[in-house]
Amino acid sequence: MKKNTLRDEKRVVMAKQLWQVLRMNGGNDETSFAKTSYVQKQILSLTKPIKDKAITEMYSKQPPTKAIRIADLGCSSSEKNSLIVIFDLIQTMDNIRRRFKQDPKEYQIYLNDLPGNDFNTLFGSITNFEDRLLEQIGDDFGHCFVNGVPGSFYGRIFPTNTMNFVHSSSSLHWLSQVPENIIENQKRNIYMSRASPPSVLKAYYEQFEKDFLKFLHCRAMEMVDGGKMVLTLLGRHNNQYCYAKESSYLFELLSNVLNDMVSEGNIDEAKLNTFNIAAYTPSPLELEFLVKKEGSFNVNLVHVFQVSWDWNDYKFDSTLDNTSDQYDFTTCMRSVLEPLIIAHFGQEIVDEVFERYREKARVSMAEENNVLTNVAISLTRIPRVRG
């Protein structure tokens, strides 16, 4: 049997650490994900028509069954995001069952995230969520049972052949681990950058391919025939190169901040050399290619869209709630990246990192129209061949 080398062991430790530290800021304070996740909320509202269409298609030929199982994967802690998605899905399904003049349904809701996620904050909002269902859909909408599912969506999280509708937004670009063997070639880069050699770009793609195929394979086992899945993740238009400014720039600014702090002696260079972001932003073609390669799903639709870093672009958007005037790109990014920074560099530097990030983002936004590109893909589980 091959003996584990020191490098193998280090890799296992690194993967384990990422697993333990990847989480959004919990709680409800000013830097929490629950308070600051306007960018993700905007992405969710822009994909509502895709989700509605998938549900309508799902029930166009056969009406909903009595029990409907719905999952939100990578739900995080914000009721304004995850529970609003679930509310909208139930509302759309309830409209359909009324059209079919069916009895009320039982909705089994599964909210999944990594075990370190602040499920408590999310669960604290369940009563409001249930009250809203009764108020806005009516007390004859049926029953809703909410379950928390701590675990990685890169493994099995549900029983075989049970899920009707699976949703995930702003989560699947996170990889299961930093790609292997990139540290030597990354030097002071923390992500795929203009300066990254092709071997690094390839390693990132290969890690994404491995993870996404595993994700599809697990969902294929868990979903019922004809079940629908709508996935939205950070992505890019460009099919030729793995580096794309449109989706890497938010990490590039962080890289610039950390490099400045190394140059000024505030961060140890060796520490920076071992810090890498475990994310990948696929193109629509890459996603379609991998769905076909895995073979269990049909692609119904792929949609590429952008959201702006700049709140001024949304000021008059009535679909955002009235707290959105607090929208601030840096605070939103802080709620996502802070736990990773603290786990690697320590708590002491974090305020300074994000003060500097804010300044760099301000300068950049004054010069150009910064956006985040997203890819949404709507899939149907191909019926299993029965022997």
Ligand X SMILES: C[S@@+](CC[C@H](N)C(=O)[O-])C[C@H]1O[C@@H](n2cnc3c(N)ncnc32)[C@H](O)[C@@H]1O
Residues of the shown chain interacting with ligand X in the complex, contacts defined by CB under 6 A: 22-24, 37, 40, 44, 74-76, 78, 81-82, 112-114, 117, 152-154, 169-171, 174, 176, 336
Q: Which is nearer to ligand X, 168 or 189 (by Cβ)? A: 168
What residues contact 333, with CB distance under 8 A and at least 6 apart? 250, 254, 357, 361
**Minimum CB distance to ligand X, residue 264 (Å):** 30
Helix or strand run (H / E) with residue 377? strand 371-381
**Minimum CB distance to ligand X, residue 60 (Å):** 27
CA distance 208 to 215: 10
Q: Which is nearer to ligand X, 272 or 287 (by Cβ)? A: 287
Closest residue to ligand X: CB criterion: 74
Axis crossing angle, helix 350-367 with helix 329-345, rounded to the nearest 10: 140
Q: What are 54's two structure tokens? A: 């998938």
Selection from 83, 58, 88, 59 nearest residue 72 by Cα: 83
**Minimum CB distance to ligand X, residue 173 (Å):** 9
Q: Which is nearer to ligand X, 157 or 261 (by Cβ)? A: 157
**Minimum CB distance to ligand X, residue 218 (Å):** 11
SS3 136: helix
Neighbour-count burial for 370-380, b at 16+ CB within 10 Å, e otherwise = bbbbbbbbbbb
Q: Which is nearer to ligand X, 22 or 203 (by Cβ)? A: 22
Q: Which is nearer to ligand X, 64 or 152 (by Cβ)? A: 152
SS3 280: coil
Q: Which is nearer to ligand X, 49 or 63 (by Cβ)? A: 49
- Amino acid in the structure at residue 180: E
**Minimum CB distance to ligand X, residue 198 (Å):** 26
CA distance 60 to 23: 38
Q: Is the dihedral of CA 235, 239, 243, 246 positive or negative?
A: negative
Q: Which is nearer to ligand X, 46 or 267 (by Cβ)? A: 46
Whole-Å CA distances, 83 to 31, 86, 92, 221, 280: 20, 5, 14, 25, 26
Q: What are 379's two structure tokens? A: 């899939």
- Amino acid in the structure at residue 6: L
**Minimum CB distance to ligand X, residue 195 (Å):** 26
What residues contact 96, with CB distance under 8 A and at least 6 apart? 55, 56, 59, 63, 64
Q: Is the dihedral of CA 197, 200, 202, 204 positive or negative?
A: negative
Length, in residues, of the chain: 387
**Minimum CB distance to ligand X, residue 215 (Å):** 8
**Minimum CB distance to ligand X, residue 86 (Å):** 11
Q: Which is nearer to ligand X, 152 or 261 (by Cβ)? A: 152
**Minimum CB distance to ligand X, residue 175 (Å):** 8
Given a contact cutoff of 8 angstroms between Cβ atoms, the answer to whether 204 and 179 are in contact is yes
**Minimum CB distance to ligand X, residue 227 (Å):** 19
Half-sphere exposure of 102 (CA within 13 A, CB side): 19
Q: Which is nearer to ligand X, 188 or 214 (by Cβ)? A: 214
Q: Which is nearer to ligand X, 40 or 108 (by Cβ)? A: 40
Count the neighbouring beta carbons within 10 Å of the beta carbon of residue 174.
21
